[in-house]
Amino acid sequence: MWDIAAAEKTLMAVMPPGARVHLRTDPKHPSDLIFSVASHHLRARLVRYANLAAAKVAVSAKPRPQVLVMSRTTPAIRDFLSKHSTGWVDQTGSAQISSEHLLISRDAVRALRPGDSPSRWTRSMLGVAEALLMGIPGTVSAVSASTGLAQSSAAAALHALTQMRLLTADDTRGRNAGRRIVERSVLLSAYSEATTTRPHRFTLRVGVLWRDPVTALSKLGESWTKEGTAWAATSALAAAVSAPLGTQISPLEIYLDAASPATMSAVLKRVGLEPLEGGRLWVAPFPSEVTRRLVNVASRLPVVPWPRAYADLQHAGVRGEDAAEHLREVMERESNRWVRTID
């Protein structure tokens, strides 16, 4: 569990051998640790979710910390913290702390991989979180109707997210009782981080020479749509039509309804695409049936629900994380565009 006790152990693990380090919590700021080395004090702040938005919030909150302690850091997070003269420590052993009296610079022992740490999130919970972030009411009936989950599965997922304090239950009881998101940014961060523990079953890369990927993919995808094969853009392609940033990010990423690599290869070849190691276009099966059901069409391009595009962008390097934050800001301002009507 990533909490203040885990943060304390993570911080102590990167301290120089033989250093006399004293740690204490700050009663006024429960997410902070004050650590002293040779009588010099620094403030370290626990960040519960490993994304750029959470790091920005932690740095801006007063009193200002000198160090952030995170479960993991990304290139975008490290770049941001360096520009704001803030150090970091994470569970991989990566650390960068620089002050007048202390200098620590360590590389990760090894990068964390999906599945390294156990996750309480199930595919049903991920799907329900996507639906709620898209504006679906938090009742069993509404969630079940929008996601296609059985009512028992929808109820179990809502209960689990409530137990994690990401949702709060209404006072009413019975079939019309519902749940509400406690804080949208916290649910989005938790959902995004949980997607990393659910790796794709397989992926293919395809060589393409598109100057205008959105237009090219829209035309090409018409054949898939006509034959009844579900597909959708995610990551940078989804953001390009939902919240344009003016820059292009590689690789281009789509989801395609295919049960195996052989099936996916055949579907690609029917529209003239050939798998190619290192190709620009990254293709994977839909991460869940819920994601497939919640696909929207924007500018003639089927796109995944924006929370999924946000999560996928988080894994696309520094520019991807910047685009993810831009997408989040735009979608929060224009949230009514994404609220789906339940029949």
pLDDT at 226: 92
The SS3 of residue 39 is coil
pLDDT at 118: 39
Measuring CA to CA, how many Å separate 223 from each of 80, 229, 258, 270, 300?
43, 9, 15, 9, 13
Q: What is the pLDDT of residues 271-316, one digit of tens each?
A: 999 888 888 899 999 999 999 999 988 878 999 999 999 988 887 7
- Residues 6 or more apart from 225 whose CB is under 8 A from it? 231, 302
For residue 88 the two structure tokens come to 């970091």
What gap in Å lies between CA 138 and CA 106, rounded to an integer?
Answer: 44
CATH 1.10.10.10 residue ranges for the chain: 123-195
pLDDT at 111: 45
pLDDT at 305: 92
279 near 205, Cβ under 8 Å? yes
The SS3 of residue 151 is helix
pLDDT at 209: 87
Q: Residues of the chain whose pLDDT is less than 50? A: 110-118, 336-343
| Farthest CA pair distance, the chain | 70
26 near 32, Cβ under 8 Å? yes
pLDDT at 22: 86
pLDDT at 233: 93
Phi, psi of 316 (to 5 degrees): -105, 25
pLDDT at 249: 60
For residue 107 the two structure tokens come to 């590389």
Is 123-195 a CATH 1.10.3430.10 domain? no
By DSSP bridging, strand 103-106 and strand 138-139 are: unpaired
Amino acid at 143: V
- Residues 6 or more apart from 76 whose CB is under 8 A from it? 52, 317, 318, 320, 321, 322
